[in-house]
Amino acid sequence: MGDSGKGVKVAACSPKLKIADPSFNALQINEDIVGAVSEGCRVVLFPELSLTSCSCGSLFSFHTLLDSAYDALNYILRSCSEYDTYIIVGLPLMDNNKVYNCATILYNGNVVSYIAKHNVYPSSAISYSFSQYTGSEKDSIFSEDFSFLVDDIRFRVIIGDDIDNFVYDNSVILNPSSLPVIAGGYSDYKNKILSYSAEACGIVSVNPSYFESSSRHVFASTAIAATNGQLLMERRPFKNNSVYCTFSGEYTRCEWHEPKRRSNEYTRTPFIPENAKQYLDDILQIQAHALARRFIHIGCDRMVLGISGGLDSTLTLLAAANTATLLGESPKDVVTAISMPSISSSARTKNNAAALSIALGVDFRTIDISESLLLHLKDIGHDGIATDTTYENAQARERTQILLDICNMENGIMIGSGDLSELALGFTTFGGDLLSMYGINASIPKTVVKALVIHWADILQGDIKQILYDIADTPISPELIPSINNSISQRTEDILGPYEIHDFFIWQMFVYHRRPTEIYAAACEVFDTIYQSVDILNWLEIFYRRFFMSQFKRISLSESPNITGVNLSDFDMPGDVTAAAWMKELESIKKSI
């Protein structure tokens, strides 16, 4: 949106890009600059590391990428030499044998200033190979305290979350950032920018586009401009148009306002905020865009997944069908759902898997693995009768092999269905359901998976509504031991404890970094009328024991987007870690009760 009043017009652009391809990115940036200048903009702002993309990880330390980025910068300088416009683009730069995350301020074909980022451990999605800039380096190319005037307005560039530590003055802050989108996160970002703008003359913040990597995060082209605590403009998630705002120089200061915080610290379902509908809608949108990004990048023809009739595979199928719609394709043409029942499968889950797939209009196939399972068990010397770990895991591995081989046959990508709760507890089969080519549910806990399936039921209505409600009401089970009278005989929560309490543990551990005594006390308070304290302690012990024991599995996880703010696929911990310190603290709790 624009502003027709007098003043300095600023553009916030999130161009299309290719990861580690500065030449392509420079062409896209130049296109946006031309458009912004034609709109009368005197300042054009691009996201953090916009010339390379922010997702290059270890490549940031390679001279090939650094040199290519610098050449791309010079291309922009030549292309924009006649513009009376300040242009801010980001790139990695080497100085004194150290690589820095930089923003360059360009004007009239010249580099006016290089600005280096201070914080090298940000909350953003950048995998850092950068050095920390302290401002004390000798003979540095960087400007420590640089601002520039356009008419009567003073502008200053602050990169990413350096904005959290800046001492504000009478400047408009230009904030090239690399903040990914998570469910419910946009409102937190917006509130932060609004509150910070009360201390400065104004802030313009812009983040990368949907074309960034979706390996670990999803980006959404978000941008916000604010002054005096008031919104000037915003570009909400997944809107690709450039946005403009005008600063007139007539500002009044207002009191500081703290950003709003999530208020679900001590609730039974902490991953789901009060505004559940918007939060769940966010997840559906992020899932579809993440999967579409990966599907397009790989250049495959089909999304292939296993459908069991359980919660996780149901959500995966819904996300795949939604992605097909986003891509403008028929689900039948790009989504293959394969039911792979065995003698352990119940009639209820088999029927629901088939009914849902047919109702969604995807390519649905049934491949019964009972015979191949027994043959495999015979080949390895198993009697095929004992329902031990080998019997259970062989089924999961047989199903994964089928899905991967079909992907090879039909140029497909295998979409994983494992959720955050299962990954945290290690309730997955190594070489089986743990494996996929892209894990779309990996940061979504079981309580949210169930809420999403019900949310989809309310959206889709008709016959699908009843199918989804029945799936949500089905006992959670891996169905890896034979059913009794065609009914589910293996219930996960009888083995592990309730998923709602494990999700509560995950939230307390990874969002608030609380220790066992604190988590136990919080759980006893929240679940006081539902569970006995002795049971809560037992489940907490199961949680910690399984979490640390299963790290070796998570190390081999496929890439997956962070959708809820907690993603264990890139949690940095060795596979031979010990839980001794946590278990010792649990023992002290046992002695005190």
Residues 451-509 pLDDT 10s: 999 999 999 988 999 999 999 999 998 887 887 777 777 888 889 999 999 999 999 99
Residue 474, CA distances (Å) to 103, 292, 450, 470, 557 in order: 53, 30, 10, 6, 27
From 237-241, 307-311, 332-336, 503-507, the region with the lowest mean pLDDT:
237-241
The confidence band for 258, taking pLDDT boundaries of 50, 70 and 90, is very low
Closest CA to 218 of 152, 149, 169, 288: 288
- Give the pLDDT confidence of 371-430 residue by residue, as tens digits: 999 999 999 999 999 999 999 999 999 999 999 999 999 999 999 999 999 999 999 999
Dist CA 421 CA 502 (whole Å):
7
- Which residues pair with residue 225 across a beta bridge? 204, 233
SS (H, E, C) 122-189: CCCCCCCCCCCCCCCCCCCCCCCCCCEEECCEEEEECCHHHHHHCCCCCCEEEEECCCCCCCCHHHHH
pLDDT at residue 249, rounded to an integer = 53
424 CB-near residues (< 8 Å, 6+ apart):
502, 506, 543, 546, 547, 550, 568
- Give the pLDDT confidence of 377-393 residue by residue, as tens digits: 999 999 999 999 999 99
Tally helices (H) and strands (E) across the chain: 18, 17
DSSP string, 343-395: TT--HHHHHHHHHHHHHHT-EEEE---HHHHHHHHHHTT--S---SHHHHHHH
User: Given the structure tokens 């919660």, which residue do they identify?
Assistant: 311
386 touches 467 (CB < 8 A):
no
Would you report the helix, strand and coil content of the chain in percent, each value rounded to 5? 40, 15, 45
pLDDT at 253 over 50: no
567 touches 442 (CB < 8 A):
yes
Dist CA 83 CA 78 (whole Å):
10
The enclosing H or E element of 234 equals: strand 230-235
Look at residue 92 and give its three-state secondary structure. strand
51 touches 22 (CB < 8 A):
yes
The confidence band for 57, taking pLDDT boundaries of 50, 70 and 90, is confident
Confidence (pTM): 0.85
481 touches 387 (CB < 8 A):
yes
Dist CA 226 CA 156 (whole Å):
15
pLDDT at residue 152, rounded to an integer = 85
322 touches 288 (CB < 8 A):
yes
Closest CA to 324 of 315, 316, 333: 333
Dist CA 306 CA 365 (whole Å):
10
